[in-house]
Every structure is written in structure tokens, then in C-alpha cells.
Amino acid sequence: MRGQTLSAIVCASLVSTLACSAPINTGYLDQQAVMQPGQFMDGVWCDDQIDQPPTYSQVRVVSVEARGIEDRKGVSTDDAVSWLREQLAQASDESNDDDVLLTLPGEGPVASLELAITEMTPGSVAGRFWGGEFGAGHAFVQVEGKLTDASEGALLCELVQRARASGAVGFRDWGGDAGPAMVEEMLGLVAQALIQELRVKLQGSRGPTRSAIPTALPSTGA
């Protein structure tokens, strides 16, 4: 099953809720043209020696920003950045305030992770109701990341994930506009995929198996 993305697996079980969607090139990443599908993310490029000794012992999140996007109805760029940070903290196996995303075996160097939300729209209630089955009104997010050596600044990996949610073609909107909740849920899914992908890339064959992938969107109470 190597080479499949997390979004592809979710598509199989949540076709009416979350749909596959190819990443768009926003110009943020340098290596997007040569990316390949990752085990958990849509697009991944890593240096060939990424999992060779001395292996990295930690990944720290040094920045999360909104890039090239604007506030939307019910969702500001600050909301999206805050949600992604919260989801990363929840999905991480760390419990500290030092922005440590991953701690890996060994005493190797530290890697720094920069993240950018480059697409964010909660979509349209009316669009989902009248034409959701044709793609109208869907919610989208795209998150892109750069992993570098914290000491030397050398680029180690670039990653991208894009998700699209239909809101069950409008049915989720019966209790109110579901767009903001879907944006938050998709950011949570991206956070989980990102952590799993980085763990695999940095640990090589010691990384998690496909059975570790979550099979449902996290609940937001919406």
C-alpha cells in the first residue's frame, strides 16, 4: 500500500464527506515539481540521506502562518493558524510547551518545521445544497511544510497536503453552516498525516505501519 496518501484512504470510507483533491502549486515550495506521493501525504520530497546517521532526534515547529489566503465567513486566517497549531499539539505524542512535534530515538540533531496554510475556504452552504454533488460549495484546505536542519539550515524535506470536504453534499449544513467545522476537521487530518509522514521519513523502516493511520475525521462537535 506504499505510495497511497492519507486522503485516499479517507476517501474510501468517507466518500460523501471528504474527497480527494490534488495539491495546487502556490509557489511556496521549491521542490513541488519533483514531489512524489508520500505514505500519508499527497506530495513529499526529501533529501536522499534524510534517514541516514546521524538521525534526527527531534522535530520542532518553528512557525505556522497563513500565506496568500484571506479571512472567510466564519473562519479567519488567525482561526485557521490557531486550529492547526492546536491539532498538531493534540496529534503529537509530546506534552510540553517547547513546540516539539516529534521525539525520535537517539541523540541526533534537531530539525525545524515551518508550516504554511496556503488555501482555506469554508465553501458555501447554498453551493453545497444546490450543487454539492457537482463540486459546488465545497470546503478546501492546503497545508505546506518545509523541514530544515535547525543548526545548518539545510533543506531536508518539503511536504504538501490538500483536502476537500463536501459536507455530505449539504446534509451537514442542516444544523447551521458546517464550513468552519469542516476546515478545522481537515486541518486536524492534515496534522495527523504530517506527523506520520515525518516519522516515516526520519525513521525509515522503523516508522509506523499503515495500520496506524486514523480512519475517521476528528469530531469537533459540529
The domain that holds 156 is classified in CATH as 3.40.50
Least confident of 3-12, 91-100, 134-143: 3-12
- What is the C-alpha separation between 165 and 122, in angstroms, rounded? 9
Q: Is residue 208 part of a domain?
A: no
pLDDT tens-digit series, residues 144-155: 999 999 999 999
Q: Is residue 219 part of a domain?
A: no
Task: Identify the domain containing residue 167 by its residue range.
Answer: 6-203
Number of domains in the chain: 1
Residue 53, φ and ψ in degrees, nearest 5:
-60, 145
* Mean pLDDT score, 10-28: 62
| Cα 119 from chain centre | 12
Q: Is residue 217 part of a domain?
A: no
H helices of 31-156, in order, are: 77-91, 125-131
- What is the C-alpha separation between 176 and 156, in angstroms, rounded? 43
pLDDT given at position 97: 62
Q: Is residue 173 part of a domain?
A: yes
Residue 191 has pLDDT above 60, yes or no: yes
Q: What percent of the chain has pLDDT over 70?
A: 72
pLDDT given at position 95: 61
pLDDT tens-digit series, residues 53-88: 778 999 999 999 999 999 998 999 999 999 999 999
Q: Is residue 163 part of a domain?
A: yes
pLDDT given at position 79: 96
The SS3 of residue 10 is helix
Residue 165 has pLDDT above 70, yes or no: yes
Q: Is residue 92 part of a domain?
A: yes
pLDDT given at position 145: 98
pLDDT tens-digit series, residues 179-189: 888 999 999 99
